[in-house]
């Protein structure tokens, strides 16, 4: 409202940005009577000229920075700087990371802003040289501030509020960047935006109050310098946000409605090797623990149906609280995505985790996620002797595990290809059962919805 009033009172042709804002404001907020259409026609040319030069800085402050400022007004009352809760709420399903905006490197934002601001001409029709110069200076400073602040505001609006993300994606953010760091980076970007607006407004105002051409030029240079300094001091936040965006966008896209097999087990037991033979996924395979440090995806196409396979970091035998963030990624997949589980056991001990320790972790995971469709695989069976003749005295569960693995497990070797065909067929059966499970759950949800709406 202020923007349009001032522009009309001052007979200043609105900038494109201001025009857009006026349209937006006039569509929504301005009661018709408040907008002084026709006022301009009643003013004399000299009056117009006077108010023009007097108010240029107010016009600049109030109208053309509204895009950058609007976010400030909205977020002032909030501790955390997320301004667009409504927009963020749209991200309740997975896939938010693929919709993140492209973040420009700070250096590019600055150079583009400098270039655009320098080309802003003074308002047409100002004959007096001093007045023209201070008009030009104020407009250029305003443009520079806007060009620096508006991209930051766009990021604030389009990066999702973690609260409204799917719990799986929320966990990925927390485990990848550390608790609170995502918000901290966004907070720094918003603080920079606010600072730029404040410095820009202050210097545009000073420039507009200059009493000579020379003074206007000096104030323009000073204002430019201060804005650039301010941006340079805070620009690491923008580059950090760029890294955040790149990292998140590179994360594999998991569709929770597609049947998914999650490979779990101790580090170095052969999970990635199995993912490679089962699916299109080609994770790195190396003979050391934690080769896989993130969640990786592969796909299996079976009878024209597409299934997902996730490779995960290994789990060590340790208390939940002692787990590192890499291990926690595995637990995040299991906790938040309805996957079937393929648990990999290396009874040869070649992986570096003893079968005793693997047994403890296995029991723990089985207890927590035992309701999932499940398949146990003993890997590296080319390194194992024949266990078919083994006899276990009494009811020693650990000894039984070390000899045979869990009941119903199958033996596989990626090296000798022993058991690979059986594995593939069991995995396919598992995924088809999971598809039936997902469909029946979906059917239940829909009928629940119909009951509650009727
Ligand atoms: N002998 C033998 N070695 C295998 C077999 N499968 C995998 N390996 C080896 O075991 C090592 C670990 O394999 P990976 O597939 O990287 O194991 P991982 O469980 O994904 O390891 P992390 O990602 O570190 O947890 C590699 O040196 C593989 O070559 C197998 O069937 N037989
Ligand atoms: Mg691996």
Distance 420 CA to ligand 1 centre (A): 15
- CA of 293, closest atom in ligand 1: 23
Give span(s): CATH 1.20.120.1190, the chain.
Answer: 87-249
d(C-alpha 235, C-alpha 228), whole Å: 10
247-296 residue pLDDT tens: 999 998 888 889 999 999 999 999 999 999 999 999 999 998 999 999 99
204-241 residue pLDDT tens: 999 999 999 999 999 999 999 999 999 999 999 999 99
Q: Which residue has the higher pLDDT, 75 or 191?
A: 191
- Give, using CA atoms, the residue closest to atom 5 of ligand 1: 380
Give span(s): CATH 3.40.50.300, the chain.
Answer: 260-453
d(C-alpha 140, C-alpha 107), whole Å: 19
């789990």: which residue's tokens? 315
Q: Which helix (H) or strand (E) holds 344?
A: strand 340-345
Q: Is 379 in the pocket of ligand 1 (CB under 6 A)?
A: yes
pTM listed for this prediction: 0.75
408-435 residue pLDDT tens: 999 999 999 999 999 999 999 999 999 9
Burial of 322 (0-12, 13-18, 19+ CB in 10 A): exposed
Please tell me the predicted confidence (pLDDT) of residue 87.
Answer: 44
Residue 294: CB atoms within 10 A of its CB come to 17
Contact between residue 227 and residue 148 where contact means Cβ atoms under 8 Å apart:
yes
Q: Is 196 in the pocket of ligand 1 (CB under 6 A)?
A: no
Average the pLDDT over each of 90-99, 152-161, 162-171, 442-451 and give the range with the smallest value: 442-451
Q: What is the mean pLDDT of the chain?
A: 82
31-78 residue pLDDT tens: 332 222 223 333 344 444 433 333 333 333 333 333 444 444 444 434
Class of 260-453 per CATH?
A: alpha beta
Q: Is 285 in the pocket of ligand 1 (CB under 6 A)?
A: yes
Please tell me the predicted confidence (pLDDT) of residue 385.
Answer: 79
Distance 296 CA to ligand 1 centre (A): 16
- Please provide the CATH number assigned to the domain covering 87-249: 1.20.120.1190
- Report whether pLDDT(300) > 60: yes
Distance 232 CA to ligand 2 centre (A): 41
Distance 322 CA to ligand 2 centre (A): 21
Q: Is 291 in the pocket of ligand 1 (CB under 6 A)?
A: yes
- Give, using CA atoms, the residue closest to atom 13 of ligand 1: 270
- Report whether pLDDT(116) > 80: yes
With the most atoms of ligand 1 within 8 angstroms of its CB, the residue from 262, 272, 273 to mutate is 273
320-340 residue pLDDT tens: 899 999 999 999 999 999 899
Tell me the residues surrounding ligand 2 (ion) with CB < 5 Å. Answer: 271-272, 291-292
d(C-alpha 324, C-alpha 49), whole Å: 68
pLDDT band at 30 (very low <50, low <70, confident <90, very high): very low
Q: Which long-range contacts (CB under 8 A, 24 or more apart) does 323-329 make?
A: 325/175, 325/176, 325/178, 326/175, 326/290, 326/293, 326/294, 328/171, 328/175, 329/171, 329/172, 329/175, 329/294, 329/295
pLDDT band at 388 (very low <50, low <70, confident <90, very high): low
pLDDT band at 439 (very low <50, low <70, confident <90, very high): confident
């Amino acid at each position: 409202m202020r923007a349009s009033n001032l522009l009309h009172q001052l007979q200043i042709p609105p900038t494109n940005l201001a025009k857009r804002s006026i349209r937006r404001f006039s569509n929504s907020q301005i009661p018709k009577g408040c907008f002084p259409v026709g006022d301009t026609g009643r003013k004399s040319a000299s009056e117009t000229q006077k108010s023009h030069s007097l108010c240029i800085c107010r016009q600049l402050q109030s109208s053309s920075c509204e895009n950058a400022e609007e976010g400030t007004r909205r977020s002032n009352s909030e501790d955390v700087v997320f301004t667009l809760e409504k927009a963020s709420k749209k991200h309740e399903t997975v896939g938010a990371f693929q919709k993140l905006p492209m973040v420009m490197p700070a250096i590019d934002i600055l150079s583009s802003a400098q270039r655009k601001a320098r080309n802003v001409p003074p308002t047409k029709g100002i004959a007096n040289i001093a007045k023209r110069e201070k008009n030009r200076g104020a407009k250029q400073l305003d443009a520079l501030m806007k060009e620096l602040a508006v991209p930051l505001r766009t990021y604030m609006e389009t990066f999702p509020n973690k609260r409204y993300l799917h719990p799986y994606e929320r966990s990925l953010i927390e485990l990848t960047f550390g608790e609170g760091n995502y918000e901290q980076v966004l907070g720094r970007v918003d603080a920079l935006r606010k600072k730029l607006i404040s410095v820009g407004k202050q210097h545009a105002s000073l420039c507009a109050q200059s009493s000579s051409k020379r003074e206007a030029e000096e104030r323009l240079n000073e204002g430019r310098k201060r804005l650039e300094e301010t941006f340079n001091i805070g620009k690491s936040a923008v580059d950090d946000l760029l890294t955040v965006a790149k990292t998140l966008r590179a994360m594999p896209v998991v569709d929770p409605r597609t049947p998914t097999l999650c490979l779990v087990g101790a580090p170095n037991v052969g999970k990635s090797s199995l993912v490679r033979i089962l699916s299109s996924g080609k994770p790195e395979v190396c003979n050391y623990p934690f080769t896989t440090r993130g969640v990786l995806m592969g796909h299996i196409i079976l009878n024209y149906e597409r299934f997902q396979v996730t490779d995960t970091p290994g789990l060590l035998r340790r208390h939940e609280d002692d787990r590192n963030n890499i291990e926690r990624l595995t637990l995040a997949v299991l906790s938040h995505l309805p996957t079937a589980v393929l648990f990999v056991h290396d009874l040869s001990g070649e992986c570096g985790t003893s079968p005793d320790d693997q047994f403890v972790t296995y029991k723990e995971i089985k207890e927590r996620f035992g309701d999932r469709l499940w398949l146990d695989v003993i890997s590296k069976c080319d390194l194992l002797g024949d266990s078919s003749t083994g006899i276990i005295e009494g009811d020693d569960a650990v000894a039984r595990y070390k000899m045979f693995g869990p009941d119903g497990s199958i033996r596989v070797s990626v090296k000798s290809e022993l058991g690979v065909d059986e594995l593939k067929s069991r995995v396919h059966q598992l995924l088809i059962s999971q598809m039936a499970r997902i469909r029946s759950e979906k059917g239940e949800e829909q009928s629940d919805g119909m009951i509650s709406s009727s």
